[in-house]
């Protein structure tokens, strides 16, 4: 099983240039730290808001590529509905060349809708935009010259797409959170599936992954599970540190029209740290139990761990990543935690 850590680039402090610079530097440091510890993948989410600093993950990832050696790099996720798909491929092909084959593409809708107005797209045509952009992206990934005729994207005739990726084709994953239809689309397009678990119990996501598995070939199946992650040595540390951070995170989302009171509730610590919870919150032993439990349900190929929610300091974030790398991942590997592709 592979492990990735990612950030959405949230910035809960002021939006001044110095604080934005500092937050971006934290992301760069985190990517390098993950590489040093042997984490398999690092990701940065795309947002176009003043409370996030990562409107261009591919630029941030390119900077990280120059100072890392092994770690794979992706956006989590690129907003495909409001992004030119040819340009998206070219950006990540360039990243792939700079990193000598370490780039991946992960696309999705995202939590906010500001990018539709910002870039002049009609949100009412979201499904058509996403579908056509995905088809063009996949064509660009396979073909040096792209031909296309559709309804929402302009026609392309022998359009040359350059540069070409270092890899023969870039791995492409589709991020989903709640619909079986999106999972089926990922399977039929021979893409990987990245399931974003946003709360509740793990089993509620079984139908989504089952729908993907039922429609995916064994050669193309690749399932990633993404979750908020917070690891500490003791439950006392978790109770004292986790709840204020999670409340701050959900309060911020509520104020921006996403989420609800459930997200802010001080849920029983026994449930939060149990294997049934989607939150990868707990001691190293508890997180190991959670991951192994999920593997019995999903046989996932990769875990994607958002480690910096709630405005944590870099020092706090690194505590989780260090325990993940030194205490959790070795035990999963030792216990045979390798999903079958």
**Residue range 188-196: mean pLDDT, rounded:** 97
């409107």: which residue's tokens?
55
The answer to whether residue 266 scores a pLDDT higher than 70 is no
In a domain? residue 193: no
In a domain? residue 105: yes
| pLDDT at position 265 | 55
| pLDDT at position 338 | 45
The answer to whether residue 112 scores a pLDDT higher than 70 is yes
Q: What's the mean per-residue pLDDT of the chain?
A: 92
| pLDDT at position 339 | 43
pLDDT over 70, % of the chain: 94
How many Å apart are CA 34 and CA 133, to the nearest integer?
A: 32
In a domain? residue 228: no
**Residue range 4-17: mean pLDDT, rounded:** 82
Q: Give residues with Cβ within 8 angstroms of 296, minimum separation 6.
A: none
Q: Give residues with Cβ within 8 angstroms of 163, minimum separation 6.
A: 90, 93, 94, 97
In a domain? residue 315: no
CA atoms within 13 A of residue 300's CA, in its CB half-sphere: 28
The answer to whether residue 260 scores a pLDDT higher than 60 is no
Residue 56: CATH number of its domain: 3.20.20.30
- Whether 244 contacts 313, CB under 8 Å: no
**Residue range 265-293: mean pLDDT, rounded:** 92
Count: domains in the chain: 1
In a domain? residue 27: yes
How many Å apart are CA 97 and CA 91, to the nearest integer?
A: 10
| pLDDT at position 341 | 33
The answer to whether residue 151 scores a pLDDT higher than 80 is yes
pLDDT in tens, 218-238: 888 999 999 999 999 999 999
**Better-scored residue on pLDDT, 341 or 266:** 266
| pLDDT at position 12 | 75
Q: Give residues with Cβ within 8 angstroms of 70, minimum separation 6.
A: 35, 38, 102
pLDDT band at 337 (very low <50, low <70, confident <90, very high): very low
pLDDT in tens, 119-130: 999 999 999 999
Range of the domain at 128: 2-171
- Whether 133 contacts 160, CB under 8 Å: no
């300091």: which residue's tokens?
313
The answer to whether residue 83 scores a pLDDT higher than 90 is yes
| pLDDT at position 100 | 98
pTM for this model (two decimals):
0.93
In a domain? residue 71: yes
| pLDDT at position 200 | 86
In a domain? residue 138: yes
| pLDDT at position 191 | 98
The answer to whether residue 288 scores a pLDDT higher than 50 is yes
In a domain? residue 144: yes
Query: In this structure, what DSSP letter does residue 326 have?
Result: I
pLDDT band at 255 (very low <50, low <70, confident <90, very high): confident
**Better-scored residue on pLDDT, 162 or 339:** 162
The answer to whether residue 199 scores a pLDDT higher than 90 is no
């Amino acid at each position: 099983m592979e492990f990735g850590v990612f950030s959405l680039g949230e910035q809960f402090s002021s939006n001044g240039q110095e604080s934005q610079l500092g937050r971006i530097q934290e992301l760069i440091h985190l990517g390098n730290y993950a590489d040093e510890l042997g984490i398999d993948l690092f990701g940065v989410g795309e947002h176009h808001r003043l409370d996030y600093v990562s409107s261009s993950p591919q630029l941030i990832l390119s900077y990280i590529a120059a100072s890392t050696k092994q770690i794979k790099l992706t956006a989590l996720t690129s907003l495909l509905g409001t992004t030119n798909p040819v340009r998206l491929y070219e950006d990540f092909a360039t990243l792939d060349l700079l990193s000598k084959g370490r780039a991946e593409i992960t696309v999705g809708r995202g939590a906010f809708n500001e990018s539709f107005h910002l870039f002049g797209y009609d949100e009412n045509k979201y499904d058509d935009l996403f579908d056509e952009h995905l088809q063009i992206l996949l064509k660009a990934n396979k073909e040096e010259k792209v031909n296309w005729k559709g309804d929402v994207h302009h026609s392309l005739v022998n359009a040359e797409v350059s540069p070409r990726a270092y890899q023969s084709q870039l791995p492409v994953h589709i991020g989903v959170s709640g619909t079986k239809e999106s999972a089926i689309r990922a399977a039929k397009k021979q893409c990987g599936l990245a399931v974003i678990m946003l709360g509740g119990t793990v089993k509620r996501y079984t139908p989504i992954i089952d729908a993907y598995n039922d429609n995916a070939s064994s050669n193309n199946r690749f399932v990633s599970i993404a979750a908020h992650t917070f690891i500490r040595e003791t439950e006392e540390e978790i109770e004292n540190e986790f709840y204020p951070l999670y409340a701050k995170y959900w309060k911020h989302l509520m104020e921006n029209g996403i989420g609800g009171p459930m997200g802010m509730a001080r849920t029983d610590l026994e449930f939060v740290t149990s294997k049934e919870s989607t939150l990868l919150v707990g001691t190293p032993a508890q997180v190991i139990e959670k991951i192994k439990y999920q593997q019995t349900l999903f046989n996932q190929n990769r875990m994607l761990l958002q480690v910096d929610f709630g405005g944590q300091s870099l020092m706090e974030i690194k505590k989780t990543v260090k325990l993940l790398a030194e205490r959790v991942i070795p035990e999963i590997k030792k216990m045979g935690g390798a999903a079958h592709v």
